[in-house]
Amino acid sequence: MSRPGPDGTRGASPSALLAPERATVPFTGRARELAELRAWVRSHDPLALRLVCGLGGVGKTRLALELGRRLRRTGWTVVHVPPGQEVAAVERVADVRRALLVVDDAGFRPGLPAMLDAAGAPRRRGRLRILCLARTGGQWWPRERWTGSLWAGRTPSVTQMALDAALEGGPDVAYDPALGLAAEPPDGERAVVEAAAARFARVLGRPVPRTAYESAPDRRTRVLDLHAAALVGVLDGEVPDPGAALGLLLDRERAGWAASAVEAGLAGDAEAVLTAATLLGDTSDAGVRAALRRAGASPAAGRDADVTAWVRRHLPAVPRLGELLVSRVLAASPGLTDRCTRDLDADQAFAVLGFATAMGLDRPAADRDVTGELTEAVAAALPARTAADLPGLLRVTRRLPARPRPSWCPSWTASPTAWPSWRARRATWPSARRRWAISARCSSPRASRTPR
């Protein structure tokens, strides 16, 4: 799912305060990871790549934003690369002495291979750092080595790190290791909730809620869930369990969509429209019109601009909230799944597959899991009639998951209690037979060989 970006087109509701770009709550913890990234940036390699992996809501984007903020103060040029402008970003910093490019949701950026190829061109001066953020790097990241020219003839510096949910220490403005913050995780989580609630209350002009949150010693809650719990506490007066907070926020927003959509001139199911737009990830005028058609909705006469603006304002501000919306609505409306995945072009199929893959790793609670259905629908909808369809087929099949368990998360693989949930999720992924059937549609033998 693409992020809102700096234009502020999303976020008419309180949940927009959770967007990492808003930085409503001061940066929390991650002193060790931040120090490691700063050391990586300052290395003497002319070109260096790093992949940061972690489940949705652990703080990847916020960590990158904080890193960029600190580097700018020391003279670095930092660019958060918008989707579709990957190569242009490299060209923009070609003559810059010290540059950091941040690519969020890197695993499903169609322009990433071309960006890495462009980054491999000899630089006239300085150092270039490319920081890629993704939920997993187990399959697609190694495949970039044999699909691009960056690694041809030389080996650039490439490293990887994983973020887990645990935060080191409680909230502080500076978060400097020299401050000696060493709170235990449960105390740290409570402090995060209290600090976030105070910030949200100040922004919304509401009283600070009573905080009765107690973290279990064996549970490490993601910072997004802690912030969501604090926000719900400000809105409702009591802090809920963090695991249910995003769902409660979504319920609050859904309750007001129908009435506001009618005021904007939308004729049709507002939830279906936002679900289609979120799933396809295209917020352009044409993309919003396509979402309206797939949802069976339409604007009233002369209200096209108002409806488009309404859709953009009410799209979920954080990816996991969007995934929760899509999973709930599609689980209750099987027909909408078919309409949203029918007649997809290669770019749309790539977007839906990326959304489904992320949702499969962070499976939201719903009556029926739709991850496998979306993946199967993408496979069936891929155009494969002419030679011109081959690049799109290759792009999508290289991102199909080869196994349901992410290889980058050692804490999951080492925990016996994690395996039952992963065995339950296995059924949501396309079978090996289906993956090979899709790959067989690609005439190039390069599409199915194992990356080195």
Q: What confidence score (pLDDT) does residue 88 get?
A: 94
Q: What confidence score (pLDDT) does residue 449 get?
A: 37
Provide the residue count of the chain: 452
Q: What confidence score (pLDDT) does residue 233 get?
A: 93
User: What digits encode the pLDDT tens for the residues 210-231?
Assistant: 877 676 666 788 999 999 999 9
Say which amino acid occupies 322.
Answer: G
pLDDT score of 448 more than 60: no
| Cβ atoms of 397 and 447 closer than 8 Å | yes
User: What digits encode the pLDDT tens for the residues 278-311?
Assistant: 999 888 999 999 999 999 999 999 999 999 999 9
What mean pLDDT comes out for the span 416-438? Answer: 42
Q: What confidence score (pLDDT) does residue 427 get?
A: 44
Other CB atoms within a 10 A radius of the CB of residue 78 amount to: 21
pLDDT score of 324 more than 50: yes
Q: What confidence score (pLDDT) does residue 190 get?
A: 85
Q: What confidence score (pLDDT) does residue 232 get?
A: 94
User: What digits encode the pLDDT tens for the residues 228-257?
Assistant: 999 999 999 888 888 899 999 999 999 989
Rounded distance between C-alpha atoms, residue 256 and residue 251, angstroms: 9
Say which amino acid occupies 130.
Answer: I
| Cβ atoms of 208 and 234 closer than 8 Å | yes
Say which amino acid occupies 452.
Answer: R
DSSP string, 209-242: PB------TT----HHHHHHHHHHHHHHSB---H
Rounded distance between C-alpha atoms, residue 60 and residue 180, angstroms: 23
Rounded distance between C-alpha atoms, residue 321 and residue 364, angstroms: 9
Alpha carbon of residue 420 to chain centroid:
25
Which of 48, 10, 54 is closest to 412 using CA atoms?
Answer: 54
- Check residue 445 and report its DSSP letter: G
User: What digits encode the pLDDT tens for the residues 75-134?
Assistant: 999 999 998 899 999 999 988 999 999 999 988 888 888 898 888 877 667 899 999 999
Q: What confidence score (pLDDT) does residue 384 get?
A: 65
Scanning the structure block, which residue is given the tokens 């695991």? 243
Bigger pLDDT: 350 vs 146: 350
pLDDT score of 203 more than 90: yes
**Which range has the worst mean pLDDT, 67-71, 194-198, 367-371, 416-420?**
416-420
User: What digits encode the pLDDT tens for the residues 362-408?
Assistant: 766 655 678 888 888 777 777 666 666 666 666 666 665 554 433 33
Q: What confidence score (pLDDT) does residue 85 get?
A: 92
> Residue 343: left if φ>0, alpha if ψ -120 to 50, beta else—which one?
left
Rounded distance between C-alpha atoms, residue 335 and residue 79, angstroms: 41
Give the long-range contacts of residues 248-256, CB within 8 A, separation 24 or more: 249/14, 249/15, 249/321, 250/15, 250/316, 250/321, 250/324, 250/325, 250/328, 252/13, 252/14, 253/13, 253/15, 253/314, 254/325, 256/13
- CA torsion through residues 167, 170, 173, 178, sign: negative
| Cβ atoms of 353 and 378 closer than 8 Å | yes
Q: What confidence score (pLDDT) does residue 196 get?
A: 93
pLDDT score of 274 more than 80: yes
Tokens in use for 304? 């096209």
Q: How confident is the model at residue 40 (pLDDT cuts 50, 70, 90)?
A: very high
| Cβ atoms of 15 and 316 closer than 8 Å | yes
User: What digits encode the pLDDT tens for the residues 134-183?
Assistant: 988 767 777 776 667 777 666 678 888 888 776 654 444 333 333 333 33
Q: What confidence score (pLDDT) does residue 361 get?
A: 77
pLDDT score of 424 more than 60: no
Tokens in use for 12? 């008419």
> Residue 432: which residues within 8 A CB-CB, separation 6 or more?
none
